[in-house]
Amino acid sequence: MEVTFYISSAIALLSTAMVITRLNAVQALLYLIVSLLAVALVFFELGAPFVAALEVIIYAGAIMVLFVFVMMMLNLGGSALEQERRWLNPRMYLGPVLLALALGGEMALMIGNTGPAAHAIATVPPKEVGRSLYLVYPVAVELAAMLLLAGLVGAYHLGAGKWTNKEEEITPGFRDRKAPGNPAIKERSI
Amino acid sequence: MLDLLWLVPTLPLASYLVLAVGGKRLSRATVSWLGAGSVGLSACLALALGAGFLASPPPDHRFVQVLWIWMNTGGFNPAIALQLDELSLLMVLVVTFVGFLIHLYSVEFMADDEACSRFFAYMNLFVCSMLILVLADNLLLLYLGWEGVGLCSYLLIGFWYKDPENGRAARKAFIVTRIGDTAFAIGLFLLFVHLGTLTIRDILELAPAHWAQGSGMAVAAAALLLGGAIGKSGQLPLQVWLPDAMAGPTPVSALIHAATMVTAGVYLIARLHVLFSLAPAVQNAVAVIGALTLLLAGFSALTQRNIKRVLAYSTISQIGYMFLALGVGAYSAAMFHFFTHAFFKALLFLGAGAVIMALHHEHDMFKFGGMRKEMPLVYRTFLIGSASLAAVPFVTAGFYSKDLIIWESWSAPGGNPWLWGAALVGAFITSIYTFRMVFVTFFGEPHGHAAHGPGIRMTLPLVVLAFFSIVAGFLELPHTMGNVTFFSDLMHTVLPAAEAENGRGNELLFQVIAAAVSLSGILIAYLLYYRRSAVPERLSEIPVIGTLGRLWFIGWGFDWLYDRLLVRPYDWLARVNRRDVVDAVYGAIAYITLGFYLLFSRTQTGKLRQYAAGIALGAIITIAVVIFL
Amino acid sequence: MNGVPPEHALMLACGLFLLGMIGLVVRRNIVFMLMSVEIMLNATGLAFVAAGAQWGQPDGQIMVMLILAMAATEVAVGLALVLLLNRKFKTLDVDSASTMRG
């Protein structure tokens, strides 16, 4: 069944290439979703059904959807397309591609130096994953939870919209409560 | 009893410390008591020690007191050790006794000065250093004292530092003696490397064993030490600092530049006479230098107007006599002349100081005149001192010591007629300039009036010194006049006696010649200067004599020569190097660093994508290093 | 099933990563840069899964989950910042926010 692997990897590579070359942001996002789905299939082929499901549900289903929502909210319009067209010319790709080729060559060297696989791929069922997660790595779970909490609080705080009314507003994160005669500052608890 | 030796230099040192730390807070009376009293105590102690030493001399006529080991590095362990033998006893007695009289004098001389405590602090430090110099058991400690007196000389010459000329004179003194000090130090290194020790006694024993007479090492060592002595004693060619050193207060000139520090060179050569006898060429050079210097300085003194400069050149000249004596091998004659010279030269300086002070710090003697009636006591003591300097026969100490030297310059093993002739001419000139000074200052019409006469603290030292200027000579009477050899017998244990070789029987004749010479000098001075006649001016109008006179006035042009030869090129070099070539190296380092900074700060563009590209580049390089190395 | 050689999976991960890197450096729009970062994170996760598959251990998948959590957080906060940046500079050009230089 490896042919599935090769097909889905081809799809992943192709759609990723499309992501980085689109002018329209939403189109790029949609291509990205395709790429993620292809990678989820690759996960499945590699004997990791759990993370394959997670990839679809969380990565493609939540994170990318968040991206799409924000893009819609930004409401960029046609001028954005013009801008992108101006910014993206093939000459820009030269340097990065060279860098990428150099890095790729090195990685190929390293990967080639490792020996062949000792045994066939075995599927790791979710039960294994769960047991390992909560018995061996509970600290990691806690840490991830704290990280998410921090992200939640940060995102809420940043996006609360207090910094929108003044033209010459300072950078986010700094609030001058004590400046006299500042009518836009409302009393907040944080 | 002799164990109290360490107190002799320590008392002035303690006084220096107290005055240096808290002098400003003490009253003037306390400062004076401390300053003069400490030296006085040292003098009493030295007298007692001397009496004890002479009454019952220690074995080998040498007492060593080791205080502590100074340092211990790699087998080199000099000690702070003091040695007392007849030579150092003589020096200690002179330094403390004359020093005390001068300190007493300065209590009144510096009474109006607000920096009184600083003055006494430096003077006490000087006395301490000089005592360490003469009491030192090893050459390193001697060098410590040597440097100490040089430092104090600098500090005291430039005592009135607010006038930059004084600072210049002080610097000149220090730098010129430094040249001698460097030669001295190199000589010390040489001695240590070859003989393995710096203890004087050991050097005097090892040197003849290791070095043959006239060998290169001995000549080198002796020549270097001679260099040091020349610098400190103001002999040719390093005599240029002494006349300018008169910028300091008169007691300083009396103590340092007449009686003690400038004789340190004489002491050094006398102490290390063995080295010099191992290098006859150098010893000859000592004599020649002494002879030349006494002539040069004598001629210069003939034309000076500043009374202190006359005395300065006179000092250089008299030390030339001492060097001459050392050079011909008459060591105890040299020390005898040092002994008498300390008394009468200090007396002359102090007397001159009294006149200067009375006439409101006027220094030009031609503006004095007639002081005989205004300051009779000063006049009489000054006359006694001048007579001693001019070696008036029979009654003055100077006669006996200078005459001895003149005789030895003919008859000693190293003597020869040329040296004798030079000494004689020098004596003639000495009489002339000395009594020129006396007549111009004390006779004739007064130009100014003395404000007030000196008090007891100034007159007592003058009287005491005058007494000794007469009496001190009687310690050593020549064969023809009673043959008292107290002094040379004393010195005999330390210094070799000079055996007279040629013309022993003619001693009386030579003495008559010497006496005649000095008296005729006085006569000439009388003729020229007693009545303020116009002869000197008319003499100076004759072209040859006039130019000679001007040449002598500027000290035979040595200042001019050194200025052209050494000072100006150095100034030019300093000016050309104003940007400081060596500093440019460090500047270049900073400059390169700045260059790197400018280079690397270009990479901080604030553009995120470039940062990302940089990270990628870094990753490539790091992985490449891991793979390929 | 037969084994997919893990080297190939690693090569795929490598390729995806490089594409993400190219996108990161080339694009000037912030949102596209964030997307490229997502691509790179995903590629890393793929590499972990491949490694875990080789050894037959769940550690690879656990790492992927942690990466997932981190990516979610980062996207949330990052997009909030993008919104703010847009309001301040009126543009999504990342080069406009380059005052921290020198």
**What b/e readout covers C48-87, taking b as 16+ CB neighbours within 10 angstroms?**
bbbbbbbebbbbbbbbbbbbbbbbbbbbbbbbbbbbbbbe
A19-23, A37-41, B541-545: the lowest-pLDDT one? B541-545
| B540 assigned to some structural domain | no
Q: Would you say A7 and A45 are in contact if contact means Cβ atoms under 8 Å apart?
A: no
The pLDDT of residue B425 is 93
CB of C82 within 8 Å of a chain B CB? The answer is no
Q: Which of residues 8-47 of C touch A (CB under 8 A)?
A: 8-12, 14-16, 18-23, 25-29, 31-32, 34-36, 38-39, 42, 45-46
Q: Are residues B350 and B466 in the same domain?
A: yes
Provide the residue type at B267 as one letter. Answer: Y
Separation between Cα atoms, residue B202 and residue B558, nearest integer Å = 39
B291 vs B321: CA distance, rounded Å: 7
The overall pTM is greater than 0.90: no
d(CA B183, CA B230): 10
Rounded Cα distance between B571 and B114, Å, is: 36
Nearest-angstrom CA–CA distance, B108 and B462? 13
CB contact (8 A) between residue C24 and residue B605: no
The single-letter DSSP state of residue A187 is P
pLDDT in tens, A98-115: 999 999 998 888 888 776
Give A-chain residues touching B620 at CB under 8 angstroms.
99, 102-103, 106
Non-local (6+) Cβ contacts of B180 within 8 A are B227, B228, B229, B230, B231, B232, B238
What single DSSP character describes residue C29? Answer: B
pLDDT given for residue A37 in this prediction: 96
Question: Do residue B467 and residue B388 come from a single domain?
Answer: yes
- In DSSP terms, C93 is beta-bridged to C29
Contact criterion met (CB below 8 Å) for B512 and B403: no
Task: Give A119 or B515, the one with higher predicted confidence.
Answer: B515
C92 at B interface, C-beta within 8 A: no
* Contact criterion met (CB < 8 Å) for A121 and C3: yes
What pLDDT is recorded for position B360?
80
Task: Work out the minimum CA distance from C19 to partner chain B, whole angstroms.
Answer: 12
Residues B213-225 have a mean pLDDT of 88
Residue carrying the six token digits 């010099």? B276
**Residue B149 in domain:** no
Query: How confident is the model over A48-66, as a mean pLDDT?
Result: 93
CB A33 within 8 A of CB A60: yes
Looking at the predicted structure, is the pLDDT value of residue B501 above 70? Answer: no
Inside any domain, residue B622: yes
Residue type, B175: I
Same domain, yes or no: B469 and B607: no
Q: Output the pLDDT for position A189.
A: 41
List the structure tokens of B30. 């306390």
Q: CB–CB of A99 and B613 under 8 A?
A: yes
| CB pair distance less than 8 Å for A70 and C82 | yes
Contacts of B434 (CB under 8 A, 6+ apart): B314, B386, B389, B390, B521, B525
Which among C10, C52, C83 is the nearest to A159, CB-wise?
A: C83
Spatial separation of the C-alpha atoms in residues B289 and B229, rounded to whole Å: 11
Is the domain of B479 the same as that of B607?
no
Same domain, residue pair B477 and B608: no
8 A C-beta contact, residue B124 and residue B39 = yes
E strands in A27-136: none
Average pLDDT over residues B358-362: 82
- With 60 as the cut, is the pLDDT of residue B72 above it? yes
Q: Residue C98 and residue B608: Cβ atoms within 8 Å?
A: yes
- H, E, C per residue of A138-150: HHHHHHHHHHHHH
In chain C, the residue whose alpha carbon lies closest to the alpha carbon of B613 is C25
* Predicted local distance difference test score (pLDDT) of residue A101: 93
CATH code of C6-93, in short, is: 1.10.287.3510
B298 located within any domain: no
Q: Is C11's pLDDT higher than 50?
A: yes
pLDDT at B505 over 80: no
- Interface check for B613 against chain A (CB to CB < 8 A): the answer is yes
B488 inside domain = yes
The domain segmentation of chain C, as residue ranges, is 6-93
Contact call for residues B518 and B392 (beta carbons, < 8 A): yes
- The verdict on B608 touching C (C-beta cutoff 8 Å) is yes
B262 vs A118, higher pLDDT: B262
Question: Is B163 in contact with B234 (CB distance < 8 Å)?
Answer: no
- Is B147 part of any domain? no
Tell me which chains share at least 3 CB pairs under 8 Å with chain C: A, B
Q: At what angle do helices B417-442 and B307-328 cross, to 10 degrees?
A: 160
Beta-strand pair B79-84/B63-69: antiparallel
The answer to whether A67 contacts C34, with C-beta atoms less than 8 Å apart, is yes
Q: DSSP string spanning B353-388?
A: HHHHHHTTS--BGGG---HHHH-HHHHHHHHHHHHH
- Residue, of B53 and B370, whose pLDDT is higher: B53
Query: What is the spatial distance between Cα A163 and Cα B53, in angstroms, rounded to a whole number?
Result: 101
The reply to whether residue B623 touches residue A99, judged by beta carbons under 8 angstroms, is no
Select the highest-mean-pLDDT range: A71-85, B57-71, B158-172, B516-530.
Answer: B158-172
- B193 part of a folded domain: no
ipTM of this complex: 0.91
pLDDT of B3-29, one tens digit each?
888 999 999 999 999 999 988 888 888
Q: Provide the pLDDT for residue A56.
A: 95
Residue in C with minimal Cα distance to B611: C25
- Kindly indicate the confidence band of residue C20, based on its pLDDT and cuts at 50, 70 and 90: very high
**Average pLDDT value over all residues in chain B:** 87
Digit-coded pLDDT (tens) for B35-47: 999 999 999 999 9
Do B378 and B490 lie in one domain? The reply is yes
**Closest by Cα among A145, A152, A137, A41 to C63:** A137
Q: Nearest by CB to C80, which of A47, A63, A159?
A: A159
Q: How far is C85 from chain A (nearest CA, A)?
A: 9
Cβ neighbours around B167 below 10 Å, total? 16
Q: What stretches of B61-115 show up as alpha helix (H) in DSSP?
A: 86-109
Neighbours of B134 (CB within 10 A): 27
| pLDDT at A190 (0 to 100) | 41
- pLDDT band at residue C96 under the 50/70/90 scheme: confident
A43: enclosing H helix or E strand? helix A25-45
Mean pLDDT value of segment B122-143: 93
Domain range enclosing B377? 305-312+324-533
Structure tokens at B52: 């004890």
Asked if residue B94 has pLDDT above 60, the reply is yes
pLDDT of residue B502: 54
Torsion of CA A15, A19, A22, A24, to 10 degrees: 110
**In C1-102, alpha helices (H):** 6-26, 30-55, 59-89
Nearest Cα neighbor of B261 from B354, B137, B165, B122 is B122
Which residues have a Cβ under 8 Å from the Cβ of B599 and sit 6 or more positions away?
none
Mean pLDDT, to the nearest integer, of C46-68? 91
> Distance between CA atoms of C22 and B343, rounded to whole angstroms?
101
Average pLDDT over residues B402-416: 83
Q: Distance (Å, rounded) from C-alpha C30 to C-alpha C27?
A: 8
Burial class (CB in 10 A: 0-12, 13-18, 19+), B491: buried
**Residues of chain C positioned with their CB less than 8 A from the CB of B606:** 97-101
CB atoms within 10 A of CB A26: 13
What mean pLDDT do residues B555-565 have? 88
Quick check: B234 and B302 in contact, CB under 8 A?
A: no
Backbone angles phi, psi at B10, to 5 degrees: -80, -30
Domain total in chain B: 2
User: What pLDDT is attached to residue A38?
Assistant: 96
Do the beta carbons of residue B376 and residue B443 sit within 8 Å? no
User: What does the radius of gyration of chain B's CA atoms come to, in whole angstroms?
Assistant: 29
Give the pLDDT score at B445. Answer: 77
Residue B262, SS3 per DSSP: helix
Is the predicted pLDDT of residue B450 greater than 80, yes or no? no
pLDDT of residue B113: 81
Q: What percent of chain B has pLDDT over 70?
A: 97
- Going by C-alpha positions, the residue among B11, B39, B188 that lies closest to residue B104 is B39
Mean pLDDT of A144-151: 95
The stretch B265-287 carries a mean pLDDT of 90
